Chain A
């Protein structure tokens, strides 16, 4: 035995933004692969919103003639934004629960033991959720389009919707990831599911705020989900315009930025706790 430190391996690149980016991409790939290898988690977040959309179309089809209801070709055209938001909300819970599972089973610590940029761990996971949000949005549009869920803004509007869906996924995924990082418990993350469901029903996801009254209307007015849905809905109902696109993109973007700051703070707190 010798009394010298072995020469550090030459394979390793120094820490850099480029390296952090590559790590984020690799972790995003893992996050996406994981999602698609668990169809039992992915399929419900696509099937149930579609089920609710068709159920709503049958049950509430005639409500489109109520005073205050915007001019639409069908209830599905109105509902499309709500369906996208619903699906993306539920999909994002799945992604955040996977982060909590990583903490529970120790994979998170495997990543920490490597020279992984700490933010890559969070952003890699969120990139997977964001991609899934975009995919879900595309699926909802493609499936509901033939049944009357027209998108007045056309193809540019559909592209903007997909981008908006991705940003909503990022925003909700970051908020749910905060819960994952705070608690380290997949059960706690999944426990937020009923809360999201309540928030969704107290929003304008299924009916326009103009048809609501009293405290329900007030709650829907301050509910951020209403604003996410209405941004998307502007593209569906109003046709393509800069203002509609900006509303669809900027509202989720602003929430995403705030949520990312919260999630990053939770990550730093977890790292400091070790």
Chain B
């Protein structure tokens, strides 16, 4: 018998004519951090909602923490922690009040609850802000509180739905560190993200989902190695695209570039760059910008789907010091 804490078999969800999830299979082992990577609308959140009992599958089955998500939904809820991107934290309550409420919902007795709340507040660095209303918290503080709320009952399986979307790089790093720490302590984590770096940094294994289907699955290193050749990206005038592609295609398979860019997987490796530039020059192609990238998850994504991961270029790197993005607004409720 398969004892994996998250198992999905041919999981399908339709919303009328919209086929949001088209038969996904998952087998996430205990102690793994599993990244679910895909653009907005790929079906990540719908899949997570089914696995966390918030949505009934149209067909297929799933077991989480050893229980069926449809017939044993209550047992599933008792054993998982869930931090959903679009489940707001009540801004009128304080952090401590919300933890106390969450504890009661999980049936944690008063004395243990107080101790657990204090532990979690300290763990996520919110002890000083515990008695402040959430409306005064920054985006990063809210996400940390959200994480603390999802951990109140010491779940064995944790679902994090785009936990760092909209966060500044520092807050992102803090959250990553906490996810790693939880995982070291034995928690199985399923993480959805649209950020390549996040999946690369955190996940032991990832699945790439696009248009409701898992198109690639494996360890990040293996997936990248599978792409093989490095990608040469060039930018040129729009009227020279056809000519440039004709030259590039003689060096390897064309790969989709970001908006306006052309890409090719160099069969002969990075050493071919000089020759490519010479051939482009001979063909009269004026190169405005050129870069060579070792295979990345974006290349894996592009190779699997034929397009680059939407928004990947906009994700602030954890090494940057960018401003916090506005939170992404999503439709909620009856999906």
Contacts and interface: CB of A to CB of B under 8 A. Distances in A.
Interface of A: 1-9, 11-15, 19, 22-23, 25-27, 29-30, 33-34, 37-38, 103-107, 109-116, 184, 270, 273-274
A33 B30 contact: no
> Most B CB atoms within 10 A — which of A23, A104, A109, A116?
A109
22 contacts: A1-B32, A2-B29, A3-B29, A6-B5, A8-B78, A9-B153, A9-B155, A13-B107, A23-B105, A25-B104, A30-B93, A30-B101, A34-B93, A104-B333, A110-B89, A113-B54, A113-B87, A114-B105, A115-B74, A115-B106, A115-B107, A274-B56
Interface string B9-33: 0000000000000000000011110
Contact of B90 (A22, A26, A34, A109): A34
Contact of B31 (A2, A19, A105, A110): A2
Contact of B106 (A25, A37, A114): A114
B101 A9 contact: no
B65 interface: yes
Contacts of B108: 11-13
B-side interface mostly:
loop
Contacts of A34: 90, 92-93
Interface string B85-125: 01111101100010011101111110010001000000000
B84 A110 contact: yes
B78 A106 contact: no
B66 interface: yes
A23 B77 CA distance: 15
B58 interface: no
Interface in B265-283: none
A114 B76 CA distance: 9
Interface of B: 3-5, 29-32, 52-56, 65-66, 74, 77-79, 82, 84, 86-90, 92-93, 97, 100-102, 104-109, 112, 116, 133, 149, 153-157, 186-188, 204, 332-335
Q: B79, B92, B97, B105: which has the most chain A beta carbons within 10 Å?
A: B105
A1 B82 contact: no
A109 B84 contact: yes
Nearest to B4: A3
A30 B90 contact: yes
A67 B97 CA distance: 57
A113 B65 CA distance: 14
B234 to A, nearest CB: 42
Given A106-B88, A115-B77, A11 B53 contact: no
Contacts of A38: 92
A113 B153 CA distance: 13
Given A105-B88, A110-B84, A113-B87, A11 B30 contact: no
